Amino acid sequence: MNPYERWDDWEWERAIHEVGKEAGRGKSAPRLNQQPGRSQRPRRPVKGGWDNYLKHWNGTQKRTIVSATLFLLIFFSANSTDPFSGAIHSIYQSAMNSANYYESLNGMAKEALSIGGVVSKNVPVDAKMKGQFLPPISGKVVAEYGAKGEGGSNAVGSVHNGIDVEPLQNALGTPVVSPATGVVTSVGEDAQLGRIVKLDFGDGWTSVLGNLGDISVVKGQRIEKGEVLATVGLSAPLKKPWLHFELRKNNVPVNPLPYLIPPKS
């Protein structure tokens, strides 16, 4: 029976449903309020990437991944001999000894991002190297290791990577000697330290000497312990005749004082 020949309301409504079924076979049902002849707008695909992927992780899963990553970083650094791994493991050991876990993780993160050495007052003193380095000059320490910078050799608010030493007499032009036998790795300028000389003594030990005047060595030159490298100058922004002296182990700044030969009484 043709559904269009049904004229009463109930039959007409039923006929409409039948016609709709015949016209829609094999196709998806039309959306409500969709105008005839207009195609349905396709949905935008869900964007991929790490941001969308990590949104589905809860806090416990994220902490687990971070912990596993740090564990592998520490594990492999302990079994490697390159400077990067040595710096990572040195910071880890010092923090474990001091129970300062936050400083350990913060230091390792900065090393991993290649920001450079991180000052830590809790780095244990290497007993076999204690008292082995010659003081570059004789004088008074006027800015201690780990102190907050107030300008000059360290920017305001930054942490002092070494010590600043004021010569006892004839400050400007005082000869600066090499703390140990090694090689000059760099001679140049630094925005905070002025004219600098960088030295490598081997076995991961390096040094930075800043605020220099006249420099008498060149990059690649081998120097002996006690050999004159330069003179104290006024090249740093502070414009005071102080020597900036840093000592590093595997690129991690350490307090130089325990490693210097004590003055004769």
Q: What is the pLDDT of residues 183-211, one digit of tens each?
A: 999 999 999 899 999 999 999 999 999 99
Q: Tell whether 188 and 90 lie within a shared domain.
A: no
* Domain presence at residue 112: yes
Q: Tell whether 236 and 159 lie within a shared domain.
A: yes
- Which of 77, 103, 124 finishes a domain? 124
The CA–CA distances, whole Å, from 30 to 3, 4, 15, 97, 164 equal 21, 22, 18, 70, 81
* Domain presence at residue 167: yes
Average pLDDT, the chain: 75
Q: What is the pTM of this model?
A: 0.55
Q: Tell whether 83 and 179 lie within a shared domain.
A: no
Q: Tell whether 132 and 230 lie within a shared domain.
A: yes
* Domain presence at residue 231: yes
Look up the domain containing 211 and give its range: 127-259
Q: Tell whether 103 and 210 lie within a shared domain.
A: no
pLDDT for 25 equals 54
Provide the strand spans (E) within the chain: 139-143, 163-167, 175-177, 182-190, 194-202, 205-210, 212-215, 222-223, 228-232, 243-249, 252-254
Q: What is the pLDDT of residues 206-246, one digit of tens each?
A: 999 999 999 999 999 999 999 999 999 999 998 899 999 99
pLDDT for 46 equals 54
pLDDT for 22 equals 57
- Six-digit token string for 188: 């140049």
Q: Tell whether 219 and 110 lie within a shared domain.
A: no
CATH of the domain at 214: 2.70.70.10
What one-character-per-residue DSSP string does 192-223 give?
TTEEEEEEEEETTEEEEEESEEEE---TT-EE
- Written as one letter, the residue type at 228 is V
- Which of 101, 124, 147 finishes a domain? 124
φ/ψ region of 161 (left if φ > 0, alpha if ψ in -120 to 50, else beta) reads: alpha
* Domain presence at residue 58: no
The total of structural domains in the chain comes to 2
Mean pLDDT of 145-149: 74
Q: Tell whether 116 and 152 lie within a shared domain.
A: no
* Domain presence at residue 237: yes
Cβ atoms of residues 162 and 208 within 8 Å? yes
* Domain presence at residue 51: no
* Domain presence at residue 9: no
Q: What burial class does residue 126 get, using C-beta atoms within 10 Å of its C-beta: 0-12 exposed, 13-18 middle, 19+ buried?
A: middle
Give 160's pLDDT tier (boundaries 50, 70, 90).
Answer: confident
Q: Tell whether 106 and 77 lie within a shared domain.
A: yes
- Which of 82, 109, 124 finishes a domain? 124
Q: Tell whether 113 and 192 lie within a shared domain.
A: no
CA–CA dist 255, 240 (Å, integer): 22
Q: Tell whether 94 and 140 lie within a shared domain.
A: no
Does residue 113 surpass a pLDDT of 50?
no
Cβ atoms of residues 168 and 243 within 8 Å? no
* Domain presence at residue 2: no
Q: Tell whether 178 and 211 lie within a shared domain.
A: yes
Q: Tell whether 111 and 230 lie within a shared domain.
A: no
